[in-house]
Amino acid sequence: MLKITSLNTEYTNELGQPVKAAQDVNIDVPEGHFFTLLGPSGCGKTTTLRSIAGLERPNGGEISVAGVTVFSAARGVFVPPNQRGFGMVFQSYAIWPHMDVFTNTAFPLQVGKKKYSRDEIDAKVMRVLKAVQLDHLRDREATKLSGGQQQRLALARALVMEPKLLLLDEPLSNLDAKLRELMRFELKRLQRELKITTIYVTHDQSEALALSHQIAVMNQGRIQQIGNPREIYERPQTKFVADFVGTTNFVDGTVRSREAEDGYYLIDTEIGVLRCFSVEAVRPGDAVVMSIRPEDVHLSDNPPVGDVNTWHAMVDQKVFIGEAMEWQVKIGQRILLSKTHPSIRTPIGQPIWAQIQPSQCVAMPAAAELRQAA
């Protein structure tokens, strides 16, 4: 559906220095998928989205949608944004304050090139208002809607033109935490029901994990990794991805040997020999960094079954957060973070058993970060 090839965008900052906003970005999004560009501020995700929309003119590369090229630097193709037929929702919803819900939604149909009858407009508007659950508020003034309702109205206005592609630039960032969580469910429901190909920009890793079919994690203008939410979270390919998406423990080490089971290695570390999984093949002597999620550091008062990746640790700190307990446990001189069910109540200063399953200890070549940033 959406194909981006070798996209490069560069601009000059206020000091006259060149800034590479997007570097060699390659994306292929299947029809009907929810694809998220995730990363910190200034990583190039919004520039990439604006390039898709036609609001930025890249320096190089090609963008095509449903087989139609909308930008090609090599062939001199640039389709203006108003001719691309995409829907877009920004951080600020930009709804018309002097119009009611129905008129706001109908506006794109009334000013577009294609002319619709009054009955056609009414049918199209009510269909999308029903989809976003605002049909009962069709006559309400836009300024009298709640934040969540305004966000859904902005979505309805983007959807009413039945766009080939829906572009969302951090549309939930202005909502409070609870409403943001509710709107995630709404967005996922809408996308599933309408089967519209969606490109979503956010710096919130929870949103990305909750909503997406696929995620592209970006940093310094480059895509670090593309994968489904589980792959991004459980099998990060670089230290940046592991650190940005969720909380993790990093342990440096050196590969000792390769195990008979494919993808597993014995690694010498400051807390002892670890058996870990590595997505990328590594060799004995290679420097690696391991990512171990806190929920994968399993704690118990009794010795666990097996002795692989098992330690007799000491409770250094713990915090009760309601549905879970967060721990700092000391193995030798090293502190590891753990997150467990609150039923474990070992006091601070007391010994506790810690174990990590080899499949949940992910090793990455230390050189991977350098290669990605090159």
Question: Do 266 and 354 sit in the same domain of this protein?
Answer: yes
Q: What is the pLDDT of residues 112-159, one digit of tens each?
A: 778 889 999 999 999 889 888 899 999 999 889 888 888 889 888 888
Question: Do 156 and 271 sit in the same domain of this protein?
Answer: no
Which structural domain range is residue 69 located in? 2-239
| pTM tops 0.85, yes or no | yes
Q: What is the largest CA-CA distance in the chain?
A: 76
pLDDT > 70: what percent of the chain? 98
Cα distances (angstroms) measured from residue 156 to each of 82, 237, 337: 18, 37, 43
Question: Do 235 and 250 sit in the same domain of this protein?
Answer: no
Q: What is the pLDDT of residues 153-194, one digit of tens each?
A: 988 888 888 888 999 998 888 777 887 888 888 888 888 888
Tokens (6 digits) for 74:
């090599």
Confidence class for position 370, pLDDT limits 50, 70, 90: very low
Question: Do 265 and 222 sit in the same domain of this protein?
Answer: no
Question: Do 116 and 264 sit in the same domain of this protein?
Answer: no
The CATH number of whichever domain residue 21 belongs to comes to: 3.40.50.300
Residue with tokens 């929309």: 53
Question: Do 156 and 181 sit in the same domain of this protein?
Answer: yes
Q: What is the pLDDT of residues 245-263, one digit of tens each?
A: 999 999 999 999 999 888 9
Q: What is the pLDDT of residue 371?
A: 47
Question: Per-residue pLDDT for 374 more than 80?
Answer: no
Query: What's CA 241's distance to the chain center, in Å?
Result: 10
Question: Do 235 and 299 sit in the same domain of this protein?
Answer: no
Closest CA to 360 of 274, 302, 280, 258: 274
Beta strands 287-292 and 249-258 are antiparallel
Confidence class for position 73, pLDDT limits 50, 70, 90: very high
Question: Do 45 and 168 sit in the same domain of this protein?
Answer: yes
64 — phi, psi (to 5°)? Answer: -135, 150
Question: Per-residue pLDDT for 9 more than 50?
Answer: yes
pLDDT > 90: what percent of the chain? 70
CA distance 173 to 156: 18
What is the number of other CB atoms lying within 10 angstroms of the CB of residue 329? 23
Q: What is the pLDDT of residue 314?
A: 97
Closest CA to 105 of 84, 129, 73, 71: 129
The number of distinct structural domains making up the chain is 2
Closest CA to 199 of 4, 365, 13: 4
Where a domain ends, among 205, 239, 273? 239
